[in-house]
Structure 1
Amino acid sequence: MKVVNITFQFQDGQSDQTHVAAEGESVLDVALNNGIQLQHNCGGVCGCSTCHVYVLRGENDLPEISDKEEDFIDRAVNPRINSRLGCQCVVQGNEDVVILLPRQEFLGH
């Protein structure tokens, strides 16, 4: 089974955290399993924009963005070219991933 490191960086000033992720785990899964607050109003089924993150490194080893995910990202707070939904960023490669978490004190769509 492939494993990679996911490093979480925080816009609210918390120290970076790095955690191991197994193939098939999503960024959302890894965050929640390690006590990192990442909103997920729909339960992680690509039905909202609350688990919005920025992928700073490792995007080539994540699944390609779907039309549905892109539609929800358009509803996220401050979307960027490297925006993804944490529930859709599933580990599938060998490259470590770096994620920037936006502030989490908002109500999502």
Structure 2
Amino acid sequence: MQVANITFQFQDGQPAQTHVAAQGESVLDVALNNGIQLQHNCGGVCGCSTCHVYVVKGEDYLPEISDKEEDFIDRAVNPRINSRLACQCVVQTSQELVILVPPQDFLGH
């Protein structure tokens, strides 16, 4: 089974953390399994925008963004060109990912 390293960087000043992810795991799963607070009001089924993150490195190794995901990203706080929903970022290869986690002190849609 292929594994990937995911480095989580935090806009709120927390030190970065790197964790191993198995193929088929989402960025949200890896965050939650390692004690990283990442909102997920819909339970991780692409039904809200609260697990919004920025992909700093490795976007080409993630599944293509769907229309549904793009619609929810438009509702997120401060969306950018590299915005994704962590629940939809599923590890497919052993490439390194770098994820920037925005502050989690707000509630999204």
Q: Which runs of 5+ in 2 are unaligned?
A: none
TM-superposed CA distance for 1:108, in Å, is 1.1
Q: Match of 1:25?
A: 25
The answer to whether 1:69 aligns with 2:78 is no
Q: Match of 2:83?
A: 83
Amino acid at match of 1:71: D
Q: Match of 1:59?
A: 59
- Deviations for 1:60-82, whole angstroms, at most 9, x for unmatched residues? 11000000000000000000000
Moved over 4 A (4+): none
| RMSD of aligned Cα (Å) | 0.4
Q: Partners in 1 of 2:29 and 2:47 — Cα distance?
A: 16
Q: Partners in 2 of 1:94 and 1:43 — Cα distance?
A: 26
Amino acid at match of 2:93: G
TM-superposed CA distance for 1:93, in Å, is 1.5
The total of aligned residue pairs comes to 109
Amino acid at match of 1:51: C
Amino acid at match of 2:102: P
Q: SS where residue 31 of structure 2 aligns? A: helix
Amino acid at match of 2:22: A
Q: TM-score, normalised on structure 1? A: 0.99
TM-superposed CA distance for 1:35, in Å, is 0.1
Q: Partners in 1 of 2:87 and 2:8 — Cα distance?
A: 15
Q: Match of 2:3?
A: 3
TM-superposed CA distance for 1:106, in Å, is 0.3
2:5 and 2:94 in contact (8 A); partners too: no
Q: SS where residue 15 of structure 1 aligns? A: coil
The answer to whether 1:92 aligns with 2:95 is no
Q: Partners in 2 of 1:94 and 1:21 — Cα distance?
A: 9
